[in-house]
Amino acid sequence: MEWANDKSKGGVLAHLERLETQMSRSCKNLEDPPRETAESDLGTKIHKLRCLRDKLRAEVKQRQARIKASTANAEPDQTLEISEQEAVGGKEENMKAILQAYRFTGLSGKRTSRGVCVCISTAFEGNLLDSYFVDLVIQKPLRIHHHSVPVFIPLEEISAKYLQTNIQHFLFCLCEYLNAYAGRKYQADQLQRDFAAFLAGPLQRNSLCNLLSFTYKVEPQGRSFPFCARLLYKDLTTTLPTDVTITYQGTDASSTSWEEQRASHENLFFTKPLHQVFTSFARNGER
Amino acid sequence: MDETVAEFIKRTILKIPMTEMMTILKAWDFLPENQLQTVNFRQRKESLVQDLVLLCESKRASLRDAALLDIIYTQFHRHQKVWDVFQMSKEPGEDVDLFDMERFKSSFEKILRRALKNVTVSFRDAEENAVWIRIAWGTQYRKPNQYKPVYVVYYSQTPYAFTSFCHLKSNTPLLSQALTVASNHHKIVKMDLRSRYLDSLKAIVFKQYNQLETKFKSDFHGGILAERKEPLRCLIKFSSPHLLEALKSLAPAGIADAPLSPLLTCIPNKGMNYFKIRDK
């Protein structure tokens, strides 16, 4: 139904609301009860609410008793149901213990009506980075209700492997992937932000930050960009590359000093985080 | 400058609203700042466009430059297109995806060109490691039609690609093949998911949720809706940071009858918003 065409201010619903407030205001004006009666009104209200509360409490007790009674004479299937309930309760306790233990690895969680929401805080070299959450529903089977894990992290693979059998391992594995991704991303961002003077052109990267390609020089004042770097991170749980290829593009390729430099750079990229490599280039340049 | 290119640039610039003209031209970065400052942006649009096209001619704009301008215009007006979603998959147990954007682009273009000589392929890198691809299709005997291009938006190392609606359905298999092979996937399937809003599609397939609880908010402070005995008929407009979740919470909040129509609830779960309703 379209009320939008109504000419009066705000339409029919607003009009009805105005009538309602008018009515309640006129009621108030007619009977302005003296203080005492107002207090006794509140008193009656409190009494009514208390009675309602007691009634509901009694009902809850009755239902619990009924359940206990029915399970006492239960069929084998029904007892299985209860032990499943206990198993679920046990899982909750287990989860609580895991979360307490892993608090220091950036893992924390809070109870939800359905289960638990786990928060994974990533960090790299003492810098706190992004947080991700996984909302778990504690049922049989255990399932993920919501999450904020980026789509290129293999969450489905990890949960297929570990979620049902070993929650601990699932969380630990996911932590590993997310922390490693955050660390690689941090290095790439630092390189782009703080060492842009050493790079020719944009840093080529991808969503997982597991392939980086760039052309660089070792002195910000120098005019040529003699080195090409290609870094591959085939192990998604690490923040250092698994493959490093440095090529020299300069004109005097025959010079041995360039070859020495190239080889030493390769070693640096294998062993140190990106921004540290460039910090050392900068420091060497200052000498 | 080719007459067809000049015409193409002219028509593209004509589409740009005056309020966005400077922004889009700056994003294009083909006409330098100092040259743009010599142009009178207060004159009538037709004359402005003529001046700009003359500048482009003096700088010898190519089809490549014109296609890039078209991509930028479309990025600013992405809601004018209807976007479909394709889902790709890999064989299980494959190696880690070392996605190389430059290799993807050259592989993608190579596959198209091998099948079709007359095709214009252009790329523009976008935020979040994504790429916008513009494809103008031709035929064996005809040059590409620059006025009916297809756009593809692909986020690296994800299994989803967003494509703008294509009138020429015959080219879809080729496009699918190029996407699949270039991005190291094996299979591709079109999802029953379609929208003008790329961000919504992204949110659904990337399953991006933030942690805010979506509460039902009423402007009437519970006045008209509280303590009613009879149902109320009215038109309700829903807006929310996460609308589908808010709709789901209507039933538990006691405001709507449960269960909610599965047509609404299956949108995030199954990733579809396109339904074919048939007689039984």
Q: What is the pLDDT of residue B143?
A: 93
Mean pLDDT of A63-80: 60
Residues A123 and A176 in one domain: yes
Q: What is the pLDDT of residue A223?
A: 72
For residue A171, give its domain range: 104-181
Q: What is the pLDDT of residue B99?
A: 94
Q: What is the pLDDT of residue A174?
A: 94
Amino acid at B243: L
Residues B95 and B197 in one domain: yes
> What is the token pair recorded at A185?
């991303």
User: Between residues B199 and A62, which one has the greater pLDDT?
Assistant: B199
Q: What is the pLDDT of residue A17?
A: 75
Mean pLDDT of A183-198: 94
Work out the pLDDT band at B146, boundaries 50, 70, 90: very high
A97 within some domain: no
CB pairs under 8 A between A and B: 75
Residues B119, A36: Cα–Cα separation, whole Å: 88
Mean pLDDT of B83-112: 92
> What is the token pair recorded at B101?
């954007």
Work out the pLDDT band at A120, boundaries 50, 70, 90: very high
Range among A56-65, A73-82, A89-98, B129-138 with highest mean pLDDT value:
B129-138
Q: What is the pLDDT of residue B256?
A: 67
Q: Does the distance separating the beta carbons of A204 and B102 come in below 8 Å?
A: yes
Mean pLDDT of B127-147: 93
Closest to A166 in 3D by CA, of A191, A150, A142, A183: A142
Which of B88, B124, B183, B207 is the best substitution to test chain A (most A C-beta atoms within 10 A)? B207
Residue A3 has pLDDT above 60, yes or no: no
* Residue B20 DSSP one-character state: G
User: Between residues A30 and A148, which one has the greater pLDDT?
Assistant: A148
Cβ atoms B151, B81 nearer than 8 A:
yes
Q: Does the distance separating the beta carbons of A13 and B220 come in below 8 Å?
A: yes
Does residue A41 sit in helix, strand or coil?
helix
Q: What is the pLDDT of residue A221?
A: 76
Length of chain B in residues, anyone? 280
Domain boundary among B210, B242, B275: B210
Q: Does the distance separating the beta carbons of A2 and B224 come in below 8 Å?
A: no
Amino acid at B163: T
pLDDT digits (tens, 9 = 90+) for A191-249: 999 999 999 888 999 999 999 999 998 887 777 778 999 999 999 999 999 999 999 87
Asked if the C-beta of A244 comes within 8 angstroms of chain B's C-beta atoms, the answer is no
Give chain A's end-to-end CA distance (angstroms, integer): 79
Residues A238 and A166 in one domain: no
B258 within some domain: no
Count other Cβ atoms within 10 Å, centred on residue B110: 14
Average pLDDT, chain A: 81
Contact map slice: A 44-103 vs B, CB within 8 A: none
Question: What residues contact A258, with CB distance under 8 A and at least 6 apart?
Answer: A226, A248, A250, A252
Count the domains in chain A: 2
A169 within some domain: yes
Q: Does the distance separating the beta carbons of A210 and B234 come in below 8 Å?
A: no
B243 within some domain: no
> What is the token pair recorded at B20?
């966005």
E-strand stretches of B19-146: 83-89, 119-126, 130-137
Q: Does the distance separating the beta carbons of A4 and B100 come in below 8 Å?
A: no
Q: What is the pLDDT of residue B211?
A: 47
Interface predicted TM-score (ipTM) = 0.74
Residues A275, A189: Cα–Cα separation, whole Å: 9
Q: Does the distance separating the beta carbons of B220 and A234 come in below 8 Å?
A: no
Residues A11, B235: Cα–Cα separation, whole Å: 11
Residues A162 and A214 in one domain: no
Amino acid at A163: L
Handedness of CA B169, B174, B175, B179 (dihedral sign): positive
For residue B25, give its domain range: 3-80
Question: What residues contact A98, with CB distance under 8 A and at least 6 apart?
Answer: A167, A168, A171
Which of B102, B224, B265 is the best substitution to test chain A (most A C-beta atoms within 10 A)? B224
Kindly state the percentage of chain A with pLDDT values over 90.
36
User: Between residues B244 and B180, which one has the greater pLDDT?
Assistant: B180
Residues A192 and A214 in one domain: yes
Q: What is the pLDDT of residue A76?
A: 47
Question: How far A111 CA sits from the closest chain B CA (Å)?
Answer: 14
Give the DSSP per-residue string, B106-140: HHHHHHHHHH-SSEEEEEEEETTTEEEEEEEE--S
pLDDT digits (tens, 9 = 90+) for B205-263: 987 665 474 444 555 555 555 556 666 666 666 667 677 777 776 766 666 666 666 66
Domain boundary among B210, B239, B268: B210
Domain boundary among A181, A206, A225: A181
Residues B107 and B205 in one domain: yes
Kindly state the percentage of chain B with pLDDT values over 70.
81
Mean pLDDT of A46-72: 76
> What is the token pair recorded at B5?
């290119």
Residues B63 and B124 in one domain: no
Mean pLDDT of A73-79: 49
Count other Cβ atoms within 10 Å, centred on residue A281: 19
pLDDT digits (tens, 9 = 90+) for B3-40: 999 999 999 999 999 999 999 999 999 999 899 999 99
B172 within some domain: yes
- Tell me which H or E stretch contains B247: helix B243-248
Residues A164 and A196 in one domain: no
Cβ atoms A41, A33 nearer than 8 A:
yes
Domain boundary among B210, B242, B268: B210
- Tell me which H or E stretch contains A202: strand A199-204
Among A3, A4, A234, beta carbon nearest to B98: A234
Burial of B96 (0-12, 13-18, 19+ CB in 10 A): middle
Q: What is the pLDDT of residue A141?
A: 87
Count the domains in chain B: 2
Residue A87 has pLDDT above 90, yes or no: no
B90 within some domain: yes
Residues A190, A205: Cα–Cα separation, whole Å: 13
Residues B99, A208: Cα–Cα separation, whole Å: 9
B270 within some domain: no
β-strands B83-89, B160-164 pairing: antiparallel
Work out the pLDDT band at A2, boundaries 50, 70, 90: very low
Domain boundary among A133, A154, A181: A181
A165 within some domain: yes
Residues B94 and B30 in one domain: no
- Tell me which H or E stretch contains A245: strand A243-248
Asked if the C-beta of B269 comes within 8 angstroms of chain A's C-beta atoms, the answer is no
Residues B196 and B92 in one domain: yes
Residues B13 and B68 in one domain: yes
User: Between residues B256 and B198, which one has the greater pLDDT?
Assistant: B198
Residues B102 and B142 in one domain: yes
Cβ atoms A141, A164 nearer than 8 A:
yes
User: Which residue blocks in chain A are alpha helix, DSSP H?
Assistant: 11-30, 35-72, 76-101, 155-162, 167-194, 256-271, 274-286
Handedness of CA A67, A73, A78, A84 (dihedral sign): positive
Q: What is the pLDDT of residue A176?
A: 93
Residues B97 and B45 in one domain: no
pLDDT digits (tens, 9 = 90+) for A28-54: 665 555 556 777 788 888 888 888 888
pTM: 0.72
Residue B73 has pLDDT above 50, yes or no: yes
Question: How far B175 CA sits from the closest chain A CA (Å)?
Answer: 22
Asked if the C-beta of B206 comes within 8 angstroms of chain A's C-beta atoms, the answer is yes
B255 within some domain: no
B237 within some domain: no
Residues B87 and B201 in one domain: yes
Question: What residues contact B17, with CB distance under 8 A and at least 6 apart?
Answer: none
Kindly state the percentage of chain A with pLDDT values over 70.
79
Question: What residues contact B19, with CB distance under 8 A and at least 6 apart?
Answer: none
Q: Does the distance separating the beta carbons of B234 and A13 come in below 8 Å?
A: yes
Residues A205, A211: Cα–Cα separation, whole Å: 6
